[in-house]
Structure 1
Amino acid sequence: MRGRKVAFAAVLALGLALAQGEHAHGEGLFRRLAVADGKEPLVRVMSEDGKELGRFTVPSPARLYPLPGGQYVLAVHRDAGAVSFLFGGFRLEDHGDHRDVKEENPYVAATLRTGPKPTHIFANEDTLAVFHDGDGTLALFDLRRLGLDFTPGLIATGRADHGAVALLGEAVLVGGLESGRVEVYTREGRRVLPLPQTCPRLHGEAVLGEVAAFGCLDGVLLVERRGQGFMGRKVANPPGSPEGARVGTLVAHPRAGVFVGNFGQGLAFLKPGEGRMEVLPLPARPLRFGFGPEGEALYVLTADGQFHKVDPVARRVVGSLEATSPLDTAPGLALGHGVAYLADPVRGEVVRVDLEEWKVAARLKVGGMPLGLALFEVEGVKH
């Protein structure tokens, strides 16, 4: 009799689960990885465990950038003057209290010849900006219409330069390495204001709230929105800085509330309101670094092949792993919720790191020279 009650309870539980759908078993994060070869015009899309799901010939070797929303990755083909939008295969259907995820084959949604030498990009939740070094034009894409319309708006700056772009609300900030200046444009392409502050050899940008930061040879230029206008101010390199040390790459996350840039064999931390840089030394030169999706930690790959976890508040290294071969050039780094992928072009591998367990979880044999990485990552329910 007791056995029948147990069996009945099990059947009842199964029936309730079926009546409620499969959400409890199919809800979570879904990931795929885009891998660009460093020599060949080739991009692969892979599953988390390294299975190849798609292989695409592209106009020229690509740099990869994840786009907001997790469904698309941008491939920038500088040598071919083109960009490609890669769809990772996660189709989302909104059902109010949840989104269904339907897995499909990945594909190249569009390849566009937007201008000569597309290089630096900037993306926020609704807009993608691509700067063309060859003629100084800027292409603006509406990310809310991806999959429906890939037609960009164009802004002409009037000169070729190695440009950096940042978006502050409806304003477009454009800086140039050769000009050493930042100019403000409207989305329609009208130049509103050239800032008076100089930024020699300008390179790298990031945004925190209403403040944009640009790396300079002699410090960091902060550009802040003030009412209807903008104000710039320079934060100088720390006294006694090593010769040649400068900020040339910047990242930021609203939760951390700090700009972080490379600085010789270390990282420079700068809070917009502090007006000074604090440098954290590292065992080797930082090649790639970025915040996790929640901004709780900063992750850094250094030239000796070590992968570090940095507390952005305490500004100290809290963990290190032997991850890749020692490298001279910056390989790809893709960060997701609880996971990181690092390219090892020397070994033809992609290294997967479990950020919660803080260990190398897998070394995926890709072949060729994997260099660029970007993650497709969506949250939803799979039936």
Structure 2
Amino acid sequence: MPWAPAALVSLSLLTTSCASHDDTASAPKTTASASAPHGYVEGAQEKAEQQSRLLLNDPATGDTRVLDLITGKTHEVSRTTGTTGLTTDGRFGYFHTGSSTRVLDSGAWMVDHGDHVHYYRAAIRDVGRLPGDPGTQVRSDAAVTAVTDADGRAGVYRRAGLEKGKVGPARTLPGTHAGAVVPYAEHLLGVTDDGKVAVYDREGRRAASPDEECENLTGDAVTRRGVVLGCADGALLVREDDGTFTAEKIPYGSDVPEAERATAFRHRPGSDTLTAPAGERAVWVLDVSERTWTRVRTGSVVSANTAGEGSVLIVLETDGALHGYDIATGKQVSRTKPLLKGVSETGSDGNAGPVIEVDRSRAYLNDPKGKRVHEIDYNDNLRIARTFDLDIEPALMVETGR
């Protein structure tokens, strides 16, 4: 049976039959009608501001928490043991384990209509499990969720099913892929094993094949300018314009040793400025709008991120402090006191350890050994705005509601 069009799928309504983990998030059960206001979602409350939440997990014990950044309350949810990585699409948390991927609805999300944005909060609830292995990668848009296993086989799930609290059947894409399959512009982007970009429609049929190739694919990110793929010689930007897909290389500009290439991008959702470790003592900053790479020399890098648009580059270094760098000049402009103890270089995304999550006004740093999360005002010289004490070691963290 053919799927519903993406525009209809993205309007699917959130049911209210499940028990809530959040007594502030429940809304009276209401029946949708033709008179429902613009942006109405059954079972969710629409809010005037972003409803950010942090999903936190301790892989050693399986303890899992949801920290509501609006109320400051921490909610306990069922344990997930053996977690090897934690990712998110802005609403759902994907807890990757050795045998499957647990899906948790954080109950916080946003819908961007371009000229305006809707913010929602609802009940926190378990959705179920997606099949997978330690190498499984999950990518989503408003209509579908693509799950790519370690062998490069991809299955596509309807987003409407997850929004209703269940994992439905998957549509399998043909062939295998070198990295994650990424939903974009009502299509699906993948890189085949020979480095060629493949564009599929929602039914899994090949729709386009841009000429450029991506050798040794490592990392991807969706921006307003298109999908960025990390390649051996730099980045490949895949864009859609009026139904036509094109690919454009953004080269490093010189030969970069393999150990110093960008392999995992971090950025503020909605931003066109990406960051990635550039070896042990530098960070790459990719300005997608300007099609330029900047290599910022730093101390020993544990994690890095930036809000983009003129903001500082935030780097957690092995001294346990956050350092702010001016991206244009490379100069250090701010520094906190040591916040973490016993940290070491990582340079890999998704593994347990400190990470920096960034939204439109704050950054968040998890401190596993200290059992806490720091909230940072990056517009005020990396000022510590709040510190949240926890009853678990939050070795894995992602932010939702953005």
SS of the aligned residue for 1:212 comes to strand
Superposed displacement of residue 298, structure 1 = 4.8
Q: Is the 8 A contact 1:133 1:162 kept in 2?
A: no
* Count of residue correspondences: 341
2:233 aligns with one of 215, 218, 222? 218
Distance 1:187 1:103 in 2: 28
With normalisation by structure 2, the TM-score equals 0.68
1:184 aligns with one of 199, 223, 244? 199
Alignment RMSD: 4.0
- 1:35 maps to 2:59: no
State the match for 1:169 in structure 2.
185
Q: Is the 8 A contact 1:247 1:261 kept in 2?
A: yes
State the match for 1:75 in structure 2.
94
Superposed displacement of residue 38, structure 1 = 2.9
SS of the aligned residue for 1:244 comes to helix
1:1-383 equivalence runs, <5 A: 30-48=51-69, 52-58=74-80, 60-61=82-83, 63-68=85-90, 72-88=91-107, 106-108=124-126, 110-117=127-134, 119-134=136-151, 136-142=153-159, 146-147=163-164, 150-151=167-168, 153-159=170-176, 163-175=179-191, 179-225=194-240, 228-239=243-254, 241=256, 244-251=259-266, 257-264=272-279, 265-272=281-288, 274=290, 276-285=292-301, 287-291=303-307, 298-310=313-325, 317-321=332-336, 322-325=338-341, 326-329=343-346, 330-357=353-380, 358-377=382-401
Question: Compared with structure 1, are the counterparts of its residues 269 and 103 closer, same or farther at alpha carbon in structure 2 (3 Å cutoff)?
Answer: closer
SS of the aligned residue for 2:369 comes to coil
Which digits, 9 at most, give the CA deviation of each residue in 1:30-78, with x for residues without a partner?
Answer: 544321113233311235587542131226415333444xxx3312324
Q: Is the 8 A contact 1:201 1:217 kept in 2?
A: yes
Distance 1:153 1:74 in 2: 19
Q: Is the 8 A contact 1:73 1:374 kept in 2?
A: no
Superposed displacement of residue 122, structure 1 = 2.8
Unpaired stretches in structure 1, ≥5 consecutive residues = 1-25, 91-97, 379-383
State the match for 2:9 in structure 1.
none
Q: Is the 8 A contact 2:59 2:81 kept in 1?
A: no
Distance 2:397 2:369 in 1: 15
Q: Percent identity?
A: 22
With normalisation by structure 1, the TM-score equals 0.71
